[in-house]
Amino acid sequence: MTDSSRPDNGRTDGPAPATSLTVRIDRERLWSNLMALKEIGGYDDAATGLRGVRRLALTDEDAEARGLVVEWMREAGLAVRVDRIGNVYGRREGTAPNLPCVLMGSHIDTVATGGAFDGTLGVLGAIEVVRALDAAGIRTRRAVEVGFFTEEEGVRFGTDMLGSAVTAGRIPLDHAHALTDAAGATVADELVRIGYHGPEPEIRPVPHAYIECHIEQGPILADAGVDIGIVTGVQAISWQRLTLDGAAAHAGTTPIDARHDAGLAAAEVVVEIRRMCESGEFGRLRGTVGNLTLDPAQTNVVPSRAVLTVDQRNPDDTLMTAAEKHLADFVATVGTRHGVTATWERMAKTNVVPFDTGVQDVIAAAADRLGHPYVKAVSGAGHDAQEIAATCPTAMVFVAGEHAGISHTPREYSRPDACGNGVDVLAEAILTLAERL
């Protein structure tokens, strides 16, 4: 039985049967809020014919979404504060305010072609956990906090998990503030412009534990036929920008062997990355060139410049290092062959992050109590949890997605009951960590 009308839900009057140790979230409200938030930055996606979400960090759309989420936090009775990188926290006090809180959350920015669930499930789900605790009249010893972090996607300012990396102390605040978008706007100016350059120190009080509920964005849970995953860690992520400089020339008159074609060099790099992934030499490497621009971009001109992003993921740090080195050597060889110079720029790099086994066990026990089967999985995507893990015991709850978990496209979709099950598990685990009274 999983509905919130169960007769023993919310009992606080002394010892109760084992089944009453659970708390259930309001699934209808969770869903309707997910759907409402999706309309902020909503657009009609020509490629899929679906409604997508474009809510890049610190844009007007992000500001509007932040406003709505903060309103929901306040309605849930949370005391809201904003830090100097724009991370937002809402606090439900515990009976022992001096004890470190239990933190849950995620992000509400999206990629430019996003869906309704990536990040938002963890934030709106966390607010529902607070509301469920209130509805059940449950007091906890530790405070419970809901957080959302700035620029998790890294799409606008080039560094992913930015807000959580700053709060974890990995990226200095000044460095983060100085990052610019494609138009030259800085993070600091945009924080001020949208009213989220908060007064709170970016290094927050260390939580007792952090749990992030997030859609899986991959096929593991669907293949296993379960709604729930317990995340054991996150694989290494490397983002680099590669600029290849050759020489522009006339397309009709320049002999083939006299060209310094930056576009051709870029194409060879794209193909080599795919070969590396398929070769097995670098373990379970995944490599993607998601952005490739040519200059001067004219039909009848050999391109003088190619700029491409290289996204590599690997569950093994040593193999990631080997892949980066191999690609650098390959690019040097291609450059020599075509008379093209190469300049690498590091955008982001994180090593493999294992999650806390104790918190994983708490989540597993919660799923067991609720009767939700689960599998354990390593995350292929990056998450704020991998940064917060450097500060306190951390783990994640994954929720299965349809269409093999496809994400970062408007096709992203998780069933309402899968979302509800995941957030129920989050609630149950948070209740354990915060110590129900």
Interface residues with ligand GLV (CB under 6 A) are 153, 160, 381-382
Q: Considering the complex, what minimum distance in angstroms separates the CB of residue 220 from Mn ion?
A: 16
Q: Are 278 and 199 within 8 A, CB to CB? A: no
Contact partner at residue 246 from Mn ion, ligand GLV, none, CB < 5 to 8 Å by partner kind:
none
Q: Considering the complex, what minimum distance in angstroms separates the CB of residue 335 from ligand GLV?
A: 28
**118 versus 424: smaller Cβ distance to Mn ion:** 118
**233 versus 303: smaller Cβ distance to ligand GLV:** 233
Q: Considering the complex, what minimum distance in angstroms separates the CB of residue 6 from ligand GLV?
A: 36
Q: How far is it, in rounded angstroms, from Cα 209 to Cα 265?
A: 47
**115 versus 382: smaller Cβ distance to ligand GLV:** 382
Q: Considering the complex, what minimum distance in angstroms separates the CB of residue 154 from ligand GLV?
A: 7
**118 versus 324: smaller Cβ distance to ligand GLV:** 118
Using CA atoms of 409, 413, 418, 421 in order, give the dihedral in degrees to the nearest 10.
50
Q: What is the DSSP secondary structure assignment for residue 247, as one 8-state letter?
A: B
The DSSP element (H or E) to which 193 belongs, if any, is: helix 187-194
Contact partner at residue 315 from Mn ion, ligand GLV, none, CB < 5 to 8 Å by partner kind:
none
**155 versus 294: smaller Cβ distance to ligand GLV:** 155
Backbone angles phi, psi at 131, to 5 degrees: -65, -35
List CB contacts of 399: < 8 A, sequence separation 6 or more: 117, 121, 213, 214, 215, 216, 221, 227, 228, 229, 414, 418, 419, 421, 422
Q: Could you tell me the two tokens for 421?
A: 């099950």
Contact partner at residue 287 from Mn ion, ligand GLV, none, CB < 5 to 8 Å by partner kind:
none
Residues in the chain: 437
Backbone angles phi, psi at 404, to 5 degrees: 60, 30
No. of H helices and E strands in the chain?
A: 12, 18
Q: Considering the complex, what minimum distance in angstroms separates the CB of residue 114 from Mn ion?
A: 7
Contact partner at residue 160 from ligand GLV, Mn ion, none, CB < 5 to 8 Å by partner kind:
ligand GLV
Q: Considering the complex, what minimum distance in angstroms separates the CB of residue 137 from ligand GLV?
A: 37
**52 versus 198: smaller Cβ distance to ligand GLV:** 52
Contact partner at residue 387 from Mn ion, ligand GLV, none, CB < 5 to 8 Å by partner kind:
none
Q: Considering the complex, what minimum distance in angstroms separates the CB of residue 381 from ligand GLV?
A: 4
**160 versus 202: smaller Cβ distance to ligand GLV:** 160
Contact partner at residue 324 from ligand GLV, Mn ion, none, CB < 5 to 8 Å by partner kind:
none
Residues that bind Mn ion (CB under 5 A): 118-119
What DSSP string runs through 292-345?
EEEES--TTEE-SEEEEEEEEEES-HHHHHHHHHHHHHHHHHHHHHHT-EEEEE
